[in-house]
Amino acid sequence: MSLHLLAGKPAPFETLVNVPRLISAYYTGEPDPANPAQRVAFGTSGHRGSSLKGSFNESHILAISQAICEYRRAQGITGPLFIGMDSHALSEPALMSAIEVFAANEQEIMIDADRGYTPTPVISHAILTHNRGRTSGLADGVVITPSHNPPDDGGFKYNPPSGGPADTTVTKAIQTRANEILQNGILQDTARTVKRMPLARALKAGTTHLYDFITPYVADLRHVINFPAIVASGLRIGADPMGGASVAYWEPIAETYGLNLTVVNPRIDPTFSFMTVDKDGKIRMDCSSPYAMASLIGLKDRFDIAFGNDTDADRHGIVTPSVGLMNPNHYLAVAIWYLFQNRPGWRADAAVGKTLVSSSMIDRVAASLGRRLCEVPVGFKWFVDGLVDGSFGFGGEESAGASFLRQDGAVWTTDKDGIILDLLAAEITAVTGRDPGEHYRNLTAQFGSPVYERADVVATPAQKAALERLSPDMVAAQDLAGERIVARLTRAPFNQAPIGGLKVVTENGWFAARPSGTEDIYKIYAESFRGAQHLQLIFSEAQEIVAAAFNKAGTTSST
C-alpha cells in the first residue's frame, strides 16, 4: 500500500469526525437487516462498525445486549457481568444502551464507579479474580471498544468466564440471536424481543453496581512485574495513554510503586485531534504504527524508556533510546527471550504461544531457550486455555498484543494486556542495563536479521471465500523465492485449527495470505531472513501462488 501524503503528520481539522453527528446517527439510524454490512457481525474482536454507515447503531447494541442476557441464562452464568468502555465517542452511548437492557433483564452488572474508562485487560483481570476458586456464580464481561480503529467507529465484545475473547461457538450464538432480534424488530413482537428500562431507573436498579476497577488491578501488578528493580534503577519513564482507557491508570501505578513516571499526554478528545495520521491517511490509534506514533517517537530523547497504548490498552508501543519505536515483532521476541530466563516460578514446560503471522525470530528464540513453540491461528482467543492452566507462559500476536503469566506461574489475564507489556520494557531495561532495542540487536547477531512486511491485494468476495477453503494440495509450487518449500499450511501447527487462509514456509522465509473480513482484499504477511530483495521476491511469488490456487478453486485472480 502506498503511503498517504499525510502519513505521520498532524491530523488536519477537516479530517476530524463530527462527534454530534456521529452520536445523533447512533440514536436515529436504523440498520437494514437485509444488508450484510449492517447486520451484527462478530469478528476476532467482537462487533465493530460506525453509526454513520449503519453498522453500529443503538439497535445493534440493544440486540447484542439482549442476546448476551439470553446466552448467560442458557449457560447458567449467574455471577456479575463486568462492563468497561474506552474513549471512542460511540462507547458511552453504547454503554448506556447496554445498561438499560442488562438492568431490565435483572443481570448483576459492575460499571466503573466514576463512569470512567476501563482497559480491556482490566476487565479480563476482574473476571478471573472473581472466578478464582469458584465453580458456580461465575463472572463474565463486556468491553465496549473498537480497539485502535478510527474515531468514528464503535465496538462491542463479550468475554466469557475464561476472561478472554469469546470463541467462535459463543460469538456465533450471540451474533445469530442478535440478528434474529434485528430481523424481527427490536420491540415489534408481542413478547417485546428486547427488555429495556429507562436509563435513570437502570442506574438505580439493585442489580447495577458501581465498582472500583483501578485499585485491585494496580495493587495486583506487583505479582507480575519486578517493580523493586525498576525503582532501584531510577529509570525515567514516559507513558502516553494516547487518549485512551489507560489514562486513569498510570498515575496510580506510579504512586503505588514509586516509579519516576511522567504521563506525557493526559488529554481525552473523542476526535483524537492530537494524533498524527496513519499510513492510509486515517486517524488510527495504533501504537505499533510509526506513522500514528510519530509524535511519540521523540520521547526516546527524553526518557530511558517510553511507551504508548491503543484506546483500550490491549496493545503496546515501546519507544527506546537505541532504536525509537520498536517493531512489534521485535519487542515480542525480546520479551520472550527475557521472560523465560527471569521467571523461575513458571512451569519448566511452559510454552511460547504465537500467531502464525508473527515473526519466525520468535521460533528461533524459543528453540534457543529449549521451549516448545505453539503456533495458532490469528486471534488471541487461541491463547486463553494455555494461559489459564499455565501451559503457555506467553501468548503474543504480531499486531502488538500479548499477555503473560504472574511471576508464580498463575494466570494474569487471558486478553491482551498492553500495560504489563509496557512495564515489562521498563523491567528489562532496569534488570539488564540495556533497553529492549539493544537486546533485539543482540538477537539479530545470533539468529539473523529478518525483514517483515504486510501488504493488501485486491480480491473479489469469491476469491476471499476460496482462500478460506484452500487445502495444501492446491499449492503446486515446489519453491518460493529460490528456496525449497518445507510446509504448506491451511491449519495451525499447534492445534490444527483452520487458519482461514494459507501459509507457505521455506528455511529462510515465509508468507501467509488471509482474506479481510471487512474489505475486498486479502492480506499477505511475509518475512525473509535474507534481506529486503528476497522479501520482495517472496511477495511477488506469493501472489502468483495464490492466483494459481484461485484458478484451481475455480475463481480468477484480480492481480
Task: Tell me the angle at which helices 120-131 and 418-432 cross, rounded to the nearest 10 degrees.
Answer: 90
Query: 287 versus 52: which is more confidently predicted?
Result: 52
Q: For residue 511, which phi and psi values (nearest 5 degrees)?
A: -140, 155
Mean pLDDT of 252-267: 96
Taking CB atoms within 8 Å and a gap of at least 24, the contacts of 165-170 are 165/44, 165/45, 165/46, 165/379, 165/380, 165/381, 165/384, 165/415, 166/42, 166/381, 167/381, 167/384, 170/71
Rounded average pLDDT over 170-196 = 83
φ/ψ of 381, rounded to 5, equals -60, -25
In contact, 141 and 82? CB cutoff 8 Å: yes
Q: Does residue 53 register a pLDDT over 90? A: yes
C-alpha cell belonging to residue 39 = 447486520
Label residues 265-302 b or e (16+ Cβ within 10 Å = b): beebebbbbbbbbbbbbbbbbbbbbbbbbbbbbebbee
Q: pLDDT-derived band of residue 16, with 50, 70 and 90 as boundaries?
A: very high
Catalytic residue, chosen from 65, 147, 162, 399, is 147
Strand 154-159, strand 261-263: pairing: unpaired
Instruction: Note the pLDDT tens digit of each residue in 292-303.
Output: 999 888 899 999
pLDDT of residue 208: 98
At residue 296, the pLDDT reads 86
147 is catalytic: yes
Residue 383 has pLDDT above 50, yes or no: yes
Under a CB-based contact definition with an 8 Å cutoff, are residues 140 and 160 in contact?
yes
202-256 residue pLDDT tens: 999 999 999 999 999 999 999 999 999 999 999 999 999 999 999 999 999 999 9
Residues whose CB is less than 8 angstroms from the CB of residue 198 and which lie 6 or more positions away in sequence, other chains included: 100
pTM as predicted: 0.95
CA angle centred on 329, ends 332 and 527, rounded to 5° = 145
* Separation of alpha carbons 39 and 201, rounded Å: 29
